[in-house]
Amino acid sequence: MAVLVARQGRELQRYSPRTGGRIVVGCIPYVVRDDGELEVLVISSQKGHGMMFPKGGWEVDESMDDAARREALEEAGVRGETGGVLGLWHYQSRRYQKTYEGYMFPLRVTDELQQWPEMASRKRTWATVQQVMDGCQHAWMREALQQLVDRHAKLQSAL
């Protein structure tokens, strides 16, 4: 059995030349239920509360897509296939008083691990889109979820 470990430190982080804040990459882990509706995986913050999607710094030795998949594995214990970027959002860091750039990807979950690097500090929960829209305190993450919902609806109507 391989031991999975989360990356630590900020020495490989990318920073925005426009804002000076970190560039973060995240994903919305999801599955499509039998009825065609999306179910998404949310995680708690490291302090154990809140409802958010996996995200973290985009490092210089990886692509954005790789960073999104790494964050999903480290923070939520899932693997999957990413789709095209959902968009770019700017948000204020609560800790560092900087504006961060956040890119979000959809991640169709193919594997849910029983053990993952941040399992001791995060809870993961499968939720409906409406539950996340009602419970996620981050407007930019709700907007990214709406982008995924709209993209999924277009694909469904094309079938």
Q: Is residue 28 part of a domain?
A: yes
- Give the residue numbers spanning the domain of 148: 23-158
Give the CATH number for residue 113: 3.90.79.10
Interval 46-71 mean pLDDT? 92
Number of domains present in the structure of the chain? 1
Q: Is residue 77 part of a domain?
A: yes
Sign for the pseudo-dihedral over CA of 80, 63, 150, 43: positive
Q: Is residue 112 part of a domain?
A: yes
Greater pLDDT, 112 or 3 = 112
The fraction of the chain above a pLDDT of 70, given in percent, is 93
Greater pLDDT, 9 or 83 = 83
Q: What is the pLDDT of residues 112-141, one digit of tens each?
A: 999 999 999 999 999 999 999 999 999 999
- Average pLDDT for the chain: 91
Q: Is residue 111 part of a domain?
A: yes
Greater pLDDT, 46 or 25 = 25
- Res. 7 pLDDT band, cuts 50 70 90: low
> In the chain, how many H helices and how many E strands?
3, 7
Q: Is residue 48 part of a domain?
A: yes
Q: Is residue 62 part of a domain?
A: yes
- Residues 6 or more apart from 35 whose CB is under 8 A from it? none
Q: Supply the pLDDT for residue 2.
A: 47
CA separation (Å) from 135 to 14, 58, 128?
Answer: 30, 26, 11
Taking the C-alpha atoms of residue 6 and residue 46, their distance in angstroms, rounded to an integer, is 13
Q: Supply the pLDDT for residue 8.
A: 62
Residue 5 has pLDDT above 70, yes or no: no
The answer to whether 73 and 43 have CB atoms below 8 angstroms apart is: no
Interval 28-47 mean pLDDT? 93
Q: Which pairing describes strands 55-57 and 78-82: parallel, antiparallel, or unpaired?
A: unpaired
Q: Supply the pLDDT for residue 93.
A: 82
Residue 46 has pLDDT above 90, yes or no: no
Q: Is residue 7 part of a domain?
A: no
Q: Is residue 1 part of a domain?
A: no
- Residues 6 or more apart from 142 whose CB is under 8 A from it? 132, 133, 136
